[in-house]
Amino acid sequence: MHDLMFGHTLRMLRTTAGISLRNLAKKMDVSPAYLSQIERGKLPPPTHNRIAKIAETIGIPLSLLIEMSHRPNPEVICC
């Protein structure tokens, strides 16, 4: 679930910024298939260096993406 939340948010940020999946993948030096799997929650958030490249490309604070990548599953935070 956590990976899906990160991926969904990443996709939203990317599309809002008007950046294609292929363009972001190229800037990250990864395949579009790899990035697509992250966005679909099939793979965990990428490494710190790749997260930094995403933040730079999308134009958002690195700290925001780092926090998102470490955010626990909300289903675990319970009473």
**Tokens (6 digits) for 60:** 């958002």
pTM for this entry = 0.80
pLDDT of residue 68: 81
**Tokens (6 digits) for 25:** 């993948």
pLDDT digits (tens, 9 = 90+) for 4-30: 688 988 999 999 999 999 999 999 999
3-state DSSP call for residue 65?
A: helix
Number of Cβ atoms within 10 Å of the Cβ of 74: 10
